[in-house]
């Protein structure tokens, strides 16, 4: 027999709530994909699948696009989903990653306080956060956190904080914060 639910509401810390939201989004997307796969394998028509055809594809006879994102990676998200994921990532970066692993800002280890404006930094930090969620889960086993440090944190930190990394033109001294986006290769170059 199951225990009765407590009368008091359950309190969840903000940092845990952000991880929970991200995990739930990932699980919903994964469940949606599994439902589509089951429908295809069971031989159901496209019309019988759990997704409705989108207005753009309904008239052209093509298959319907899934409602959710095709990837949980932040660069594949758009609009509100992107903003929510970026906000959750920012909470993790500012409350856990930087206080624990930030270290000193130097010319050899620059940092940008405006890191949200650097697409490469967003991509790398998001990948690091996804790996953190996976490798700090109990299913990762006792070696999960060590694996995360070795395989994910250390290489990502080396790339982000390298003098020629995405923050290379930004803050090298905490007393003199600066921010500058570097031009992408080929930006402003005319091809004849």
**pLDDT tens by residue, 58-75:** 444 444 444 555 678 888
User: Cα(123)–Cα(144) distance, rounded to whole angstroms?
Assistant: 22
Instruction: Convert the pLDDT of each residue in 166-184 to its tens digit.
Output: 998 888 777 888 888 777 7
Q: Where are the beta strands (DSSP E) in 59-192?
A: none
pTM, two decimals, is 0.61
Helix (H, G, I), strand (E, B) or coil at 156: helix
User: Cα(110)–Cα(171) distance, rounded to whole angstroms?
Assistant: 6
* pLDDT for residue 41: 67
Q: Which residues pair with 106 in a beta bridge?
A: 109
User: Cα(192)–Cα(184) distance, rounded to whole angstroms?
Assistant: 19
**pLDDT class for 90, splitting at 50, 70, 90?**
very high
Residue 143: is its pLDDT beyond 90?
yes
**pLDDT class for 54, splitting at 50, 70, 90?**
very low
The answer for residues whose C-beta is within 8 angstroms of residue 103's C-beta and 6 or more apart is 109
């Amino acid at each position: 027999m199951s225990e009765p639910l407590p009368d008091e509401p359950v309190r969840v810390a903000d940092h845990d709530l952000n991880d929970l939201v991200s995990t739930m989004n990932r699980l919903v997307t994964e469940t949606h994909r599994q439902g589509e796969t089951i429908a295809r394998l069971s031989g159901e028509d496209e019309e019988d699948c759990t997704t409705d055809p989108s207005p753009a594809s309904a008239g052209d006879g093509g298959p319907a696009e899934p409602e959710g994102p095709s990837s949980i990676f932040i660069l594949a998200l758009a609009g509100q989903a992107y903003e929510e994921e970026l906000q959750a990532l920012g909470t993790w970066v500012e409350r856990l990653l930087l206080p624990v692993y930030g270290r000193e800002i130097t010319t050899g280890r620059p940092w940008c306080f405006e890191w949200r404006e650097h697409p490469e930094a967003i991509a790398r930090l998001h990948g690091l956060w996804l790996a953190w969620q996976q490798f700090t889960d109990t299913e990762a086993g006792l070696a999960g956190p060590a694996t995360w440090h070795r395989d994910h944190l250390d290489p990502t930190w080396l790339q982000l904080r390298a003098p020629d990394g995405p923050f290379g033109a930004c803050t090298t001294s905490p007393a003199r914060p600066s921010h500058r986006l570097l031009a992408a290769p080929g930006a402003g170059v005319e091809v004849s």
